[in-house]
Amino acid sequence: MASDNNSAKIRWHMNRETRYPFSERPPDPEWFEPIGFPPPWPDRPWIYGVVVASANGVLAWRRAGPEDDPVLTVLGDPTRPERIADGRHLRHLRCFGDVGLGAQTLRDQPRLIPTPQELGDPPVPALYRFREAHGLPSHPRAIIYSLRGGLDLTGPLFNTPEMDVIVVGTTSAAAMLSHRGAQPAVGIIAESVQGPAGLRRAHERLFAERGVRYLACEGGEKILRALRAAGLLDEVFVTLTDRVIDETAHEGVLKIFDFEAEGADLIAEGKISPSSSWTFRRWRFNAR
């Protein structure tokens, strides 16, 4: 992206995280300010959610059809600088480890490949150099949460060179995927992930068996709620847009956490300019 898009750079006017295990120099200072992280836990990854919400806190709703895309609706005009900044921010947050997605998110966005450079993006060599400079593989590993194993194994995510996929699911999901020939191309971690204890064991195994240290969970909302209930969701990066969603116009409306009511700490806040109506925030649930 050209340097004249520097107006789309997030300026963190408040940032309380001063630990920089990936160095204080961001992948490209023209695009980004540095993002620090605590160390991972001794037995599991540090897990951070990444979401976009409307001004009144709406994340998603039950789609009325293929064209009814909640995320694109909440984001609005794709050419505005805030939207560009949010896209860069999402890709920047993929530079520090691996990426988690729910099976429904993948069904809703079948062409999604959660890498620093998505399909159709311009090249972003600085993001890949940053990962490789810190001993990470070129692409993040995709951690897919699936209770039943009903995944489209012909999709781009499962057929991108050098893209490793690990499915976290139940024993029935593992059996289904094995029956369909997913292994050995797809790694599988089977636990009783319907409950907090099993979900915690699965992430301990991701840490011990797969070396996952930082995990950016891009949703969906049900996965984030399950991680929160299990005490595993350490923090959430939230982009708040200026769109106001009429909740009565949609079914199954899902909203972002009430962070203050749940005792989360505001770790960072930023905008692309003081006059912008979008706000980028970072809320932390678990102190480290």
Is 22 strand, coil or helix? coil
Chain center to CA of 153: 21
- Distance (Å, whole) CA 239 – CA 58: 11
Amino acid 4: pLDDT: 46
If asked whether residues 208 and 271 sit together in one domain, one would say no
| Nearest Cα residue to 190 out of 222, 178, 180, 258 | 178
If asked whether residues 195 and 265 sit together in one domain, one would say no
Amino acid 265: pLDDT: 98
- Distance (Å, whole) CA 135 – CA 263: 35
If asked whether residues 159 and 192 sit together in one domain, one would say yes
Phi then psi for 6, rounded to 5 degrees? -65, -15
Q: Is residue 259 part of a domain?
A: yes
Is 207 strand, coil or helix? helix
CATH number at 184 reads 3.40.430.10
If asked whether residues 151 and 286 sit together in one domain, one would say no
Q: Is 247 left (phi over 0), alpha (psi -120 to 50) or beta?
A: alpha
Domain that holds residue 139: 98-115+126-212
Amino acid 5: pLDDT: 56
> Residue ranges of the chain with pLDDT lower than 70?
1-5
**Residues 270/280, Cβ–Cβ less than 8 Å:** yes
The residue with tokens 């794709």 is 78
Amino acid 3: pLDDT: 39
Listed residues 212, 244, 260: the one ending a domain: 212
CA trace torsion 115, 66, 217, 149 (10° rounding): -100
If asked whether residues 104 and 201 sit together in one domain, one would say yes
